[in-house]
A = this chain, B = another copy of it.
Amino acid sequence: MLVNGKPGNLISIRDRGLLYGDGVFRTLRATQGKAQHWLLHYQKLRHDCTALGIACPDVGLLSAELNDLLARHPNGVVKLIVTRGEGMRGYAPPDCAETTHLWDISPLPDYPADWAIHGIKARLCQLRLSQQPRLAGIKHLNRLENVLAAAEWNDAQLPDSGIAEGLLLDIDGNAIEGTRSNLFLVSQGELITPDLSRSGVAGVQRDRVITWSTQHNMPLQIRDVGLDEVLHADELFVVNSIIGLWPVRELEQRRWIGFPVAMQIRQAWAEEPAS
């Protein structure tokens, strides 16, 4: 673990990341000493920092630190956090804050291989996401909605329900995302993914599916999607940087068997040169 470039696992209690969630983060998958799609993640990080007025650390600096980290821990879930740093008391961002940046690495999760092939069981979360255009799309540190949503079924005191992800709607009933993933529908030969201009986090793997659709001339719409449309889709799948792509085989009363488009994307990704 690295805090501002130095080995360590502690941060000041006056850091605005703790006080206000005033920061952004990325979660990357590292295998064999390589962090997948690092530059795409860096672009998102810089975009998100800019949106909040946080000075993003230089890509050269972060890349060097990441390489150091991976030399010692070649495989794992890499987390990068950038906060606005410390400042005077109060919500207003300080003028000359030195941002804090830190790295952490955890073991890769051991998901059943079957989930990627035959799909996951998903649930519909009761929590409805709020709408905040100023924060939508950004992977910021204000994640209590995700915590409350995941708490709905991720209770180790309950018998294992086999549920792998929860679908989140916003307060208007639009399907937005999974608790930790982006959502895609396939309907009548088209890909559809929710508009994230009011809620949700726009992840790197979502961009990669959008890129794939362009390269393969598959029409893709980014727009509002209701639950009814989700349940009537020909295919449904979720993506993030740790799980990759999981088809959904079960949501509410609906069951799906066979995921030709999802499998085509998985196949294309598997054949991509590492980047």
Residues in B whose Cβ lies below 8 Å from that of A130: 130-132
Q: Which of B104, B134, B144, B179 contacts A148 (CB 8 A)?
A: B134
User: With A13-B104, A20-B142 given, can you name 10 additional A-B contacts, CB distance below 8 Å?
Assistant: A11-B11, A15-B18, A18-B18, A20-B147, A22-B143, A91-B149, A92-B155, A95-B156, A135-B145, A142-B142
Task: Tell yes or no: A21 within 8 A of B by CB.
Answer: yes
Contact with B along A78-118 (1 / 0, CB 8 A): 01010110000111111100000010101001000000000
Q: Which 9 A-B pairs have the closest CB atoms?
A: A92-B154, A21-B21, A142-B142, A130-B130, A91-B150, A20-B143, A10-B10, A92-B150, A130-B132
Contact A171 B141 (CB under 8 A): no
Contact A17 B14 (CB under 8 A): no
Best-surrounded residue of A109, A130, A145 (most CB of chain B within 10 A)? A130
Residues of A within 8 A of B (CB): 1, 3, 9-22, 25, 52-53, 77, 79, 81, 83-84, 89-95, 102, 104, 106, 109, 127, 129-132, 134-135, 140-151, 154-157, 171, 179-180
Contact B10 A147 (CB under 8 A): no
Please give the count of copies of this chain that the complex contains.
Answer: 2
Q: Which of B93, B147, B151 contacts A151 (CB 8 A)?
A: B93
Q: How far is the CA of A52 from the CA of B150 in the complex (A)?
A: 12
Residues in B whose Cβ lies below 8 Å from that of A151: 53, 92-93
A-B contact pairs, 12 of them (CB 8 A): A11-B13, A11-B18, A13-B81, A14-B104, A15-B18, A20-B21, A20-B142, A20-B146, A21-B143, A52-B147, A53-B151, A91-B146
